[in-house]
């Protein structure tokens, strides 16, 4: 009898939770807690899934009616942006062994939520929570001390991909590095074997990234695709490890920046959607591979018009997807950053750091 009552109560709780969930909208979720150093989701109430630096970069995953799905959202309010205005996204794109075709977390249809495009993401405080979606009750993340530096870590899982990949990343923020965060990539139980697990920054067009800063030269998007004026993606352009700047630790940097002194003053074509219009200060964006090899590549593609529109990008073609590609192994570690430093100042600093 006791078991029957327990089951009935569980079913009732599930139904009530589902009904409550269906009525919720993103703006109804509780805003995150903000301490002196960290932003973390509130516990015990339906809450926004946002983690990061109080005075620096922060990230979020999609919840409820927030679209697009299958993307880690990046916020940079220190660039004089509104707190929840997205500067860039990061998508998960695993490539199975023996294949070239990527899985696409943003564009594949969900197998868990029929009719919805984009894979479902969820959060965990550890690497074990591979089947719990906890969409409106995100974890808080774990604060630790690493070599005298306080860190905040959270794991972001994806539902399985159509190609059989089952992947997740650990995000880690460092108290003394407010403009960047670390991403470590993994597969979980029963995943297909991978050649690559590409983490790609997918919205370079918003900041109009146009110049790559490489070891002995710069490369502009207009030089790579001088005649492209279609409304699709350009072919990819590839850069090897020898093209990249490396610091004294051996880390490899793939760096991109706008070629405009003030992107916020751009004049947009009539009909350009408001979410493409850049506000705030100019910034430098970068990927770092912490253990590069001869197979390490930096890859970009470009667009002449904004995604899913005919609106031309002010100033011409710019980079859209901006990423690094390496042979996959569990524990590949990258860093993504958006710094208010100029590319020149950023490069000078990293070359001097020990």
Evaluate whether residue 2 is within a structural domain. no
For the cut 90, the answer to whether the pLDDT of residue 133 exceeds it is: no
Query: What pLDDT shows up at residue 60?
Result: 98
Report the DSSP beta bridge partners of residue 60.
50, 73
- Same-domain check for residues 219 and 182: no
Domain end point (choices 202, 232, 256): 202
- Tens of pLDDT, residues 206-247: 999 999 999 999 999 999 999 999 999 999 999 999 999 999
- Tens of pLDDT, residues 8-49: 433 433 433 444 455 789 889 999 999 999 999 999 999 999
Query: What pLDDT shows up at residue 283?
Result: 98
For the cut 50, the answer to whether the pLDDT of residue 2 exceeds it is: no
- Same-domain check for residues 189 and 269: no
Domain end point (choices 174, 202, 230): 202
Residues 6+ apart with CB under 8 A from 61: 49, 71, 72, 73, 121, 122, 123, 138, 156
For the cut 60, the answer to whether the pLDDT of residue 329 exceeds it is: yes
Domain end point (choices 184, 202, 220): 202
Determine whether 299 is exposed, middle or buried from the number of CB atoms within 10 Å of its CB (0-12, 13-18, 19+): middle
Question: ∠ CA 97-300-211 to the nearest 5 degrees?
Answer: 155
For the cut 60, the answer to whether the pLDDT of residue 6 exceeds it is: no
For residue 117, the enclosing domain spans 27-202
pTM of the shown model = 0.93
Pairwise CA distance, residues 93 & 98, whole Å: 15
| pLDDT-wise least confident of 122-131, 149-158, 276-285, 296-305 | 122-131
- Same-domain check for residues 311 and 179: no
Residue 57 main-chain phi, psi, to 5 deg: -75, 145
- Same-domain check for residues 138 and 75: yes
- Higher confidence at residue 133 or residue 72? 72
The alpha-helical segments, DSSP class H, found in 199-321 are 204-207, 221-224
Evaluate whether residue 8 is within a structural domain. no
Query: What pLDDT shows up at residue 71?
Result: 98
Pairwise CA distance, residues 94 & 103, whole Å: 5
Number of domains, the chain: 2
Query: What pLDDT shows up at residue 1?
Result: 47
């Amino acid at each position: 009898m006791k078991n029957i009552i327990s089951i009935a109560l569980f079913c009732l709780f599930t139904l009530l939770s589902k009904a409550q969930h269906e009525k919720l909208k993103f703006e109804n979720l509780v805003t995150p807690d903000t301490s002196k150093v960290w932003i973390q989701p509130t516990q015990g109430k339906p809450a926004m899934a946002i983690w990061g630096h109080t005075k620096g970069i922060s990230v979020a995953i999609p919840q409820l009616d927030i679209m697009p799905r299958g993307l880690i959202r990046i916020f940079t309010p220190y660039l004089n942006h509104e707190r929840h205005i997205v500067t860039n996204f990061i998508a998960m794109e695993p490539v199975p062994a023996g294949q070239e075709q990527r899985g696409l977390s943003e564009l594949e249809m969900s197998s868990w939520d029929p009719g919805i495009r984009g894979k479902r993401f969820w959060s965990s405080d550890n690497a074990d929570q591979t089947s719990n979606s906890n969409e409106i009750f995100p974890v808080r993340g774990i604060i630790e001390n690493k070599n005298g530096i306080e860190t905040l870590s959270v794991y972001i899982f994806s539902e399985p991909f159509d190609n059989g990949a089952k992947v997740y990343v650990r995000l880690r923020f460092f108290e003394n590095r407010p403009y960047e965060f670390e991403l470590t990539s993994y597969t979980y139980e029963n995943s297909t074997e991978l050649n690559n697990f590409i983490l790609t920054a997918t919205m370079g067009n918003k900041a109009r990234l146009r110049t790559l800063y490489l070891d002995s030269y710069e490369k502009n998007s207009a030089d790579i695709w001088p005649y492209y004026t279609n409304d699709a993606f350009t072919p990819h352009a590839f850069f090897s490890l020898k093209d990249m700047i490396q610091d004294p630790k051996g880390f490899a940097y793939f760096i991109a920046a706008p070629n405009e002194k003030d992107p916020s003053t751009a004049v947009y074509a009539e009909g350009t959607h408001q979410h493409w219009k850049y506000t705030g200060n100019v910034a430098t964006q970068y990927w770092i591979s912490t253990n590069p090899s001869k197979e390490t590549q930096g890859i970009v593609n470009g667009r002449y018009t904004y995604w899913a529109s005919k609106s031309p990008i002010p100033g011409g073609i710019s980079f859209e997807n901006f990423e690094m590609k390496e042979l996959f192994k569990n524990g590949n570690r990258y860093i993504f950053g958006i710094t208010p430093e100029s590319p020149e100042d950023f490069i000078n600093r990293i070359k001097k750091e020990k």
